[in-house]
Structure 1
Amino acid sequence: MTAVEAVDVTKRFGATVALAAARIRIEDGRTHALVGRNGAGKSTMVSILTGLARPDEGSVLFAGEPAPPLSDRDGWRRRVACVYQRSTVIPSLSVAENLFLNRQSDGGPIRWRRLRQAAQEVLERYGVAVPADRLAGDLTVEQRQLLEIARALSAGARFIILDEPTAQLDGPAIERLFGRMRGMKEQGVTMLFISHHLDEVYEVCDDVTVFRDARHVLTAPVAELPQADLVAAMTGDAVSLGERSDRPSPGEKVVLRAEGLTLAGQYEDVSLDVRGGEVLGLAGSGSSGKAAVAETLAGLRRADSGAAYLDGVPLRPGDVAAAVAAGLGFVPQDRGREGFVPLLSLAENATLPVAGRLGRYGTVSAPRQRAYATRMIDELDIRTSGPAQPVGELSGGNAQKAVLARALSNDPTALVVIDPTAGVDVRAKEALLGAVENAARGGSGVLVVSDDPDDLRVCDRVLVMFHGRIVRDLPRGWSDQELVALMEGIA
């Protein structure tokens, strides 16, 4: 039986065709993957399947029946829910209030004791081990995702869309999520799983649909589709992310150094050197402290002790502007909050660190700004209508490229990037990692902070962190199994 079907859906945004007669059919009780490059139309299809956008042509059916009108939000909530990469949990409300959002009462006054009791019962039913009265802002990423899933199931939805659910989770949390997904499947829940990690598709999904250039390309059982064929369907040809490209050996000069950095609760006694022309990896699980180390180097955090140096000069603790002015390029983990200004154009975002160099007497030369942005659009293969397009309108992968363009704008002495390819497709990974290597070719020292082996394969060596400490310096030639074992503390 078909649980959900989109039939010949077309959606346009001005001159942009986001979906062109695209289709997807998801069978009842199965876990179905939707994959494709950034800009392929996945997000638009999710908006249509959740009733947030109306197709210009085509239709959506639930169990063979037409979808409710867009105005019938309760009707949509009873049929479908989406757990987005960016949480929709309201941090200032309690777990119970989030769980029963817009359902706190039957029209009369809210009975808080009864609400908390009902919430606790729902949480226990779906295995969410958090108190109902806890502030949602205190939850981990994993707990917020589980809360959103419980909210959807308690509202009656039996079709759940999981949009990049593993992007901010470490290895153990991903395994726990997959275990819960298998449990929901056994209970008859239908799921649409969106991920750029194809190994995850093969681990938890029954079927897969590929979109490319706004169109449906294929649908097939996962077990019958070789991974090389899946990648070819996504990209139009075969792509593989291989080893480090042919780069000159790093120089002897240390351009970025950390000495004995310690931050209570995050990391302890971290020391590292990055030489000019070197790509150094810093790997570890989500709880390893690796991202906190990178944020300390960039000035987002202030260490309790220790010091950091850029080109031999001490970096001012807790001062992002000073780090950028000294010649540090930085790509943060949370692109949406720290990486770009959504309403500003691609050209404006990409040149923020060097705006003072693009004109005289405090003005910015628009032609020089456009020229830089146009060059970065070409070099990073940013899919955009042009330098004037607001970054907030770009797909996730293209917005990520814009953040990297900004980090590279001042020809940094050292470049620190956190999870450079999280949530992007195969082609975008290729472009982003190519830009990282090009920066090293130009003499920058690069620190790549990630737990994705694809990101780390371009590195000259990899430092592995576990529970806040560096536990191994891996030379080139490591295996995925060796790396993962070290990150998980089982080697």
Structure 2
Amino acid sequence: MSIAVEARDITKRFGPTVALSGVGISIAEGETHALVGRNGAGKSTLVSIITGLQPPDGGEVRFGGEPAPPIADRDAWRRRVACVYQKSTVIPTLTVAENLFLNRQAGRGPIRWRSLRDRAAGLLAQYGLDVDARTVAGELSVEQRQLVEIARALSFGARFIILDEPTAQLDGPAIERLFERMRALREQGVTMLFISHHLDEVYEICQTVTVYRDARHVISAPVAGLPHDELVAAMTGEAAQGYRAGERAPDPAAPVVLAAAGLSLAGRYQEVDLAVRAGEVVGLAGSGASGKVGLAETLVGLRRADTGTVTVNGTVLRPGDVTAALRAGLGFVPRDRHQEGFVPLLSIAENGTLPIAHKLGRFGVVSPAGRRARAERMIESLAIKASGPEQAVGELSGGNAQKVVMARALADDPKALVVINPTVGVDVKSKQVLLAAVEDAVARGAGAVLVSDEPADLRICDRVLVMFHGRIVKEMPRGWAEAELVAVMEGVDTR
């Protein structure tokens, strides 16, 4: 089998930091090759090099046995490789057709809109992507936006596509549909590099896996011959260990710190009642259309319910008032850290202390020493890998950025905590730290709502409320079987 893409002895430094140390990867033509490793292992740096966004300090990249084009020749790079990033690059105010052929709408003369739409429809049909070329991209689902990005990548003529955490924002059925399309593309001869922290997906969709750890290449091997435990050990440098939830016995007489009564929001959920007591974790599970995320966002004021009330720590909140929710003692980890979780150009210290800035000085002036001291404690307690409190959050790996978002949610010692998909796009170790942070907050007397698409995350919950078509259909106490949970989520059993 011929080699489609090869990186040899790649080294990259950023000042004193070694991001890649003599690593390599060899991807056979027509295969789906996984690249895995903990956050900060060097995966993103390699992607930036094999997509031509930055040159290596040492080593070389080859496509089909030929040297990569010069960095400045962007068109040549686009014809060889394209990347579909976890953070969407689709422009929401443009149509699908305009996004597909952005800056290529016309040759000479004015744009011929009918011809542009026909070209876009033909491209989508060629790869079996069910999206209307006339739709405004902002109206698309996460799944559909990914399809548009894949089609745009292929439209340049590239036969090698990098998929960076493509399943991070998708539910189970959407993930399976994505995998079906990936299999179809592979049958058409498309080569793919698949980056994911979900190792079960690696075994399902990939033929080969490469592991990086601490900026070094550890192993490349056929997926079929690599036991799961050995793969985890290669990533972490130690034997595989799943996160073990703490032993808790919630007090049924403990005060209710977060409650919803008769909440309804058209198109999202109907007549939801919820009560979370101090010292317990309540999970919300369901498919992408179940309403669980919309409900969680209503609890924190990001959405305004049509009917019903939300109470935090005894205070009835005005609908859609985030500030009032925070003032009442609520901490929040949003669904999308890139869009809602942090300000990328601000430092760890600035992001992590945003909710408590008014407490870090006098007369409206923040004490730099006080902020730095708080940030140093956050970095230590959540094992944030950074050069220091002043490092910009946008420079951190995904897992470390998510830890900053968690640190901010916990900064004011909240009485209630709402956490949405906290472990999306993070490595095994970071997942353990993030889940432990939720349990630590609960041990201090908080009550938490945990929304997750990952059954493993929900194991820390004292009970899980399963939503189906906007309603809570079942409450499952700790100790549930995953098959039973999935059955209820999919509507097979809603008793």
Is TM-score (shorter-chain normalized) higher than 0.5? yes
Are 2:269 and 2:470, in contact at CA under 8 Å, matched by a contact in 1? Answer: yes
Pick closer, same or farther for the CA change 1:250–1:380 going to 2, 3 Å: farther
The match for 1:137 is 138
Are 2:127 and 2:185, in contact at CA under 8 Å, matched by a contact in 1? Answer: no
Q: Aligned equivalents of 1:167 and 1:453: distance in 2? A: 14
Matching of residues 447-458 of structure 1 within 5 Å: 447-458=449-460
Q: Aligned equivalents of 1:327 and 1:475: distance in 2? A: 27
Q: Deviations over 1:176-199 (max 9, x none)?
A: 000001111111111000111111
1:483 aligned onto 2:490: no
For 1:33, give the aligned amino acid: A
The match for 1:80 is 81
The match for 1:2 is 3
Q: Aligned equivalents of 1:135 and 1:33: distance in 2? A: 33
The match for 2:440 is 438
Pick closer, same or farther for the CA change 1:279–1:330 going to 2, 3 Å: same
Which 4+ residue blocks in structure 1 deviate beyond 6 angstroms?
none
The unaligned stretches of length 5 or more in structure 2 are none
Give the fraction of aligned pairs with identical amino acids, expressed as a percent. 68
Tell me the CA shift for residue 487 of structure 1. Answer: 1.4
For 1:434, give the aligned amino acid: A
1:423 aligned onto 2:425: yes
Tell me the CA shift for residue 242 of structure 1. Answer: 3.8
1:350 aligned onto 2:334: no
Q: Which moved more, 1:16-25 or 1:123-132?
A: 123-132
1:471 aligned onto 2:476: no
The match for 2:31 is 30
For 2:233, give the aligned amino acid: A
Q: Aligned equivalents of 1:460 and 1:331: distance in 2? A: 19
Q: Deviations over 1:377-415 (max 9, x none)?
A: 111110000011111111111010001100001100001
Pick closer, same or farther for the CA change 1:137–1:190 going to 2, 3 Å: same
The match for 1:289 is 291
TM-score normalised per structure 2: 0.97
Matching of residues 306-455 of structure 1 within 5 Å: 306-455=308-457
The unaligned stretches of length 5 or more in structure 1 are none
For 2:381, give the aligned amino acid: E
For 1:188, give the aligned amino acid: G
For 2:62, give the aligned amino acid: L
Tell me the CA shift for residue 99 of structure 1. Answer: 1.1
Tell me the CA shift for residue 105 of structure 1. Answer: 2.2
Are 2:421 and 2:453, in contact at CA under 8 Å, matched by a contact in 1? Answer: yes
Q: Aligned equivalents of 1:380 and 1:248: distance in 2? A: 25
Q: Which moved more, 1:345-354 or 1:131-140?
A: 131-140
Q: Aligned equivalents of 1:482 and 1:2: distance in 2? A: 44
For 1:368, give the aligned amino acid: G
Tell me the CA shift for residue 16 of structure 1. Answer: 1.5
For 2:328, give the aligned amino acid: A
- Match for residue 262 of structure 2 among 255, 260, 274: 260
For 2:31, give the aligned amino acid: R
The match for 2:206 is 205
Tell me the CA shift for residue 250 of structure 1. Answer: 4.1
TM-score normalised per structure 1: 0.98
Q: Aligned equivalents of 1:476 and 1:55: distance in 2? A: 50
For 2:193, give the aligned amino acid: L
Tell me the CA shift for residue 248 of structure 1. Answer: 4.9
Q: Aligned equivalents of 1:138 and 1:14: distance in 2? A: 42
Q: Which moved more, 1:359-368 or 1:389-398?
A: 359-368
SS of equivalent to 2:290: coil
For 1:74, give the aligned amino acid: D
Matching of residues 118-133 of structure 1 within 5 Å: 118-133=119-134
Are 1:239 and 1:426, in contact at CA under 8 Å, matched by a contact in 2? Answer: no
Tell me the CA shift for residue 239 of structure 1. Answer: 3.2
Are 2:8 and 2:22, in contact at CA under 8 Å, matched by a contact in 1? Answer: yes
SS of equivalent to 2:185: helix
Tell me the CA shift for residue 39 of structure 1. Answer: 0.5
Count of residues paired in the alignment: 491
Q: Aligned equivalents of 1:165 and 1:250: distance in 2? A: 40
Are 1:12 and 1:18, in contact at CA under 8 Å, matched by a contact in 2? Answer: yes
Q: Aligned equivalents of 2:430 and 2:14: distance in 1? A: 23
